[in-house]
């Protein structure tokens, strides 16, 4: 649940990655982007290795770190997968973008991968692809996330009817969606009156889950734009109780301190998000992850944890979008980016802590 952002200098390309806080040596990276504008993530698959007896596993984070160190394009990543010794020790859907407009999923097992190219209309007729915790090429009706896939598909379908897929939709509406496609429930449509009385609801198979530890969107660049404009919109910690912070690859490695490990080994913003998460889940130990206190999260008085965070986050997004407008005109302005990071570390972080009376 504890994660941090780490800036890496030691490969062919500089990059920023999401790392588990307990990984002190930063061996595994779970999402990130590099100086070439290459970005990568993965969702674990559970239906690709049905007859595979290989014991080596869980090396997705190592491969993504290697990819960020060495790859600039989708072709580079494909070569990496082909050249690495087998078995790879993975069962995953790797999602990859590059600064040339490339975007694809690679459904990858120990010995091979199948590419699903977002730019191929026969593969992605609507211009996008979605994956949860199963692979399309894998065994039917095995794996996990079918309900979440259906929920996300509905969101994307509605959004593309109404216009383009914005980064705000991807980082805010999707990972925080409180619609359940199987039960046809929308938690936002029946909010409790206030936070004073607990209102527990069964919380399974929504896109945000008790086990959700972060949400990240890597926003790539358009044709003829510098790869330095690549932006990683980052929610550290449980997405419903944290706020979106963007980061850019500044050459000296500067990032907001609240997103990096401090002397405790954890990132301050992730700590805060987890403290707030405790306020919205049941404290009893009988499968407490299944029960969300909706009145603590959101209510008609607007006093829920999520609702108190929204105005703070809106300030962050408004300022960040203005900065990006400037960057697109004149290039990345390091002093402006650092001033923004300093504001995040001091004002924004303090405002969150004071609003919830956290130490």
Per-residue pLDDT reduced to its tens digit, 171-227: 999 999 999 999 999 999 999 999 999 999 999 999 999 999 999 999 999 999 999
Please say which residue of 141, 168, 201 terminates a domain.
141
| Mean pLDDT confidence for 246-251 | 97
DSSP code of residue 72: S
My answer on whether 256 and 338 are in the same domain is yes
pLDDT higher than 80, residue 153? yes
Confidence grade of residue 50 (pLDDT, cut at 50, 70, 90)? confident
User: Of 141, 164, 196, which closes a domain?
Assistant: 141
| Position 347 in a domain | yes
Among 107, 122, 141, the domain boundary falls at 141
Q: What is the pLDDT of residue 286?
A: 78
**22 within a domain of the structure (yes/no):** no
Task: Identify whether residues 105 and 119 lie together within a single domain.
Answer: yes
| pLDDT level of residue 279 (50, 70, 90 thresholds) | very high
| Predicted local confidence at residue 164, as pLDDT | 82
Query: Which has the closest alpha carbon to 148: 43, 58, 234, 60?
Result: 43
pLDDT of residue 41: 98
**Is residue 206 assigned to a domain?**
yes
Residue 27 falls within a domain, yes or no? no
The answer on pLDDT for 137 being more than 90 is yes
Residue numbers of the domain that contains 132: 36-141
State what percent of residues in the chain have pLDDT above 90: 94
- 201 and 284 housed in the same domain: yes
* pLDDT at res. 72: 98
pLDDT tens digit string along 304-352? Answer: 999 999 999 999 999 999 999 999 999 999 999 999 999 999 999 999 9
DSSP-assigned letter for residue 144: B
pLDDT digits (tens, 9 = 90+) for 62-85: 999 999 999 999 999 999 999 999
pLDDT-derived band at 283 (thresholds 50, 70, 90) equals confident
Residues 92 and 176 in one domain: no
Report if residue 53 sits inside a domain.
yes
- Does 244 score more than 80 pLDDT? yes
Long-range contacts of 56-60, Cβ-Cβ distance < 8 Å, separation of 24 or more? 56/87, 56/89, 56/110, 57/89, 57/90, 57/91, 58/89, 58/90, 59/88, 59/89, 59/90, 60/28, 60/30, 60/90, 60/92, 60/94
**Residue 4, domain member (yes or no):** no
Q: Give this prediction's pTM.
A: 0.96
Task: Indicate whether 227 and 135 sit together in one domain.
Answer: no
* Cβ density class 91-112: b for 16+ within 10 Å, e for less: bbbbbbbbbbebbbbbbbbbee
Question: What confidence category does residue 288 fall into, taking pLDDT thresholds of 50, 70 and 90?
Answer: confident
- Contact of 320 with 213, CB cutoff 8 Å: no
Same domain, 80 and 150: no
CB atoms within 10 A of CB 15: 27
* Confidence at residue 53, expressed as pLDDT on a 0 to 100 scale: 85
Work out how many domains the chain is built from and give that number.
2
Same domain, 265 and 335: yes
Q: Are residues 220 and 284 in the same domain?
A: yes
The burial of 357, by beta-carbon neighbours within 10 Å (0-12 exposed, 13-18 middle, 19 or more buried), is given as exposed
């Amino acid at each position: 649940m504890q994660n941090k952002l780490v800036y890496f200098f030691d490969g062919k390309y500089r990059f920023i990655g999401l790392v588990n806080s307990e990984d002190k040596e930063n061996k595994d990276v779970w999402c990130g982007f590099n100086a070439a504008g290459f970005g990568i993530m993965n969702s674990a698959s559970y239906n690709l290795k049905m007859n595979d007896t290989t014991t080596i596993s869980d090396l997705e984070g190592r491969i993504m770190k290697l990819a960020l160190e060495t790859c600039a394009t989708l072709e580079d990543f494909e070569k990496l997968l082909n050249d690495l010794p087998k078995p790879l020790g993975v069962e995953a859907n790797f999602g990859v973008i590059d600064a040339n407009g490339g975007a694809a999923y690679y459904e990858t097992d120990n010995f091979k991968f199948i590419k699903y190219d977002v730019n191929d209309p026969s593969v992605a007729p609507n211009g996008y692809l979605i994956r949860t915790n199963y692979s399309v090429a894998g065994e039917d009706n095995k794996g996990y996330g079918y309900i979440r896939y259906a929920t996300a598909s509905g969101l994307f379908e509605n959004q593309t009817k109404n216009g383009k897929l914005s980064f705000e939709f991807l980082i805010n509406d999707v990972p925080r969606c409180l619609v359940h496609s199987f039960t046809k429930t929308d938690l936002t449509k029946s909010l409790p009156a206030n936070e004073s009385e607990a209102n527990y609801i069964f919380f399974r198979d929504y896109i945000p889950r008790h086990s959700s530890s972060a949400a990240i969107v890597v926003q790539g660049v358009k044709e003829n734009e510098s790869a330095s404009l690549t932006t990683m919109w980052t929610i550290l910690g449980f997405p419903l109780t944290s706020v979106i912070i963007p980061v850019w690859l500044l050459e000296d490695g500067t990032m907001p301190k609240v997103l990096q490990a401090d002397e405790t080994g954890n990132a301050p913003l992730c700590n805060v998000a987890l403290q707030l998460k405790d306020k919205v889940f049941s404290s009893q130990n009988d499968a407490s992850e299944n029960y969300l206190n909706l009145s603590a999260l959101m209510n008609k008085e607007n006093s829920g944890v999520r609702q108190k965070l929204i105005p703070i986050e809106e300030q962050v997004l408004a300022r960040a979008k203005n900065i990006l407008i400037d960057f697109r005109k004149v290039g990345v302005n390091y002093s402006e980016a650092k001033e923004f990071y300093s504001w995040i570390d001091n004002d924004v972080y303090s405002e969150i802590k004071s609003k919830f009376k956290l130490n």
